[in-house]
Amino acid sequence: MRGKIAERLIRACLFLVVIAFLGWAFATGAFQFMLDNLDDLLHLLQQHLKLVGLSSLLAVVAAVPIGILVTRPRFKKFDWLAVNAANIGQTVPSLAILALVMTYLGIGYVTAVFALWLYSLLPILRNTIAGIESINPSIIDAGQGMGMTPSQILWKLEIPNALFAILAGIRTSIVINVGTAALAFLIGGGGLGDLIFTGISLNDTGIMLSGALPVTLLAILLDVVLGKMEKWIIPKGLQRHLET
């Protein structure tokens, strides 16, 4: 009960912060700027979505299978390697990753997608491995003992029961990616970072906020949408964790 109240309070506070942010943006004339440059804004938003969408999609496609692979008995010995790589990778600042990748690949859209992809891999990989390894071993034992093949155990037991963790990793990764993608402008990748950094160099809060505001709203929106999707995808028998 107390937890519920605290949760509501925090939510209300966050909501107020967002409202205040909007008010601030209005006061500095960010809305006016956005309306005046609607075409530019939509173009940059589209670029931003493409950066996030492509890099996140590629990250899911790569990280989930790698996570599954290193939890197979045959590749178990590479488990530590993947987990450590993921942990170390996560501690490197996102800006540093962009810089590092730029050194080798030059500037441009491809470089930006590659860097974002690299940075998105890690939360997904880590959650996939943790999700599969945290499954109660008695469930797997029962599956084996009843004559399930290894692939049936993977598809019918391991993936459904680890789905909560895997999807949480994907959600975290995408939300972080929306923010990180704003840095893509620095290496010629485009996106809403264009407005933010232009605003900063011109010392014009209005222009800066006309980039920052859409990025913030996009991150919040994606978080909510992905949260709803989790409820929809995760098997009902495991959802008691979500309801509370």
Partner 1 sequence: MIRFQQVTKIYESANKTVKAVNNITFQVEEGQICVFLGPSGCGKTTLLRMVNRLIPITSGTIEVNGKEIHSLDPIALRRSIGYVIQQTGLFPNMTIEENICVVPNLLGWDRVKMKKRYNELMEMMGLNPDEYRKRYPWELSGGQQQRIGVARALAADPPVMLMDEPFGALDPIIRERIQNEFLRIQKDVKKTILFVSHDLDEAIKLGDTIALFRSGELMQHGTPDEILSQPKNEFVAEFVGSERALKRLSLFTMRDLVSRLNPADRKSAGKRDLRHTVHMDTNLRTALSVLLSSPTGEAAVVDDNGQISGVVSIADFERLTGIHPSERTSAVQ
Per CB under 8 A, 71 contacts partner 1: no
Distance CA 107, CA 9 (A): 45
Q: State which residue, 149 or 201, has the beta carbon closest to partner 1.
A: 149
| Count of residues that interact with partner 1, criterion CB under 8 A | 22
Q: State which residue, 40 or 133, has the beta carbon closest to partner 1.
A: 133
Cβ at position 150, least distance to partner 1 in Å: 10
Cβ at position 109, least distance to partner 1 in Å: 40
Of residues 207 through 236, those in contact with partner 1 by CB under 8 A are 235-236
Per CB under 8 A, 134 contacts partner 1: no
Decide: 161 and 135 in contact? Cβ < 8 Å. Answer: yes
Mark the segment that binds partner 1 (CB under 8 A) among 14-22, 35-43, 141-149, 208-216. 141-149
Rg (CA), the chain: 21
Decide: 213 and 22 in contact? Cβ < 8 Å. Answer: yes
Distance CA 208, CA 199 (A): 4
Decide: 109 and 185 in contact? Cβ < 8 Å. Answer: no
Q: State which residue, 8 or 156, has the beta carbon closest to partner 1.
A: 156
Count Cβ atoms below 10 Å from residue 214 Cβ, excluding itself: 23
Nearest to 181 by CA among 234, 134, 111, 238: 111
Residue from 37, 90, 152, 205 in contact with partner 1 (CB under 8 A): 152
Count Cβ atoms below 10 Å from residue 244 Cβ, excluding itself: 7
Per CB under 8 A, 106 contacts partner 1: no
Residue from 16, 100, 139, 221 in contact with partner 1 (CB under 8 A): 139
Per CB under 8 A, 148 contacts partner 1: yes
Per CB under 8 A, 157 contacts partner 1: yes
Nearest to 135 by CA among 165, 170, 171: 165
| Contacting positions for partner 1 (CB under 8 A) | 136, 138-139, 141-149, 152, 156-157, 160-161, 235-238, 240
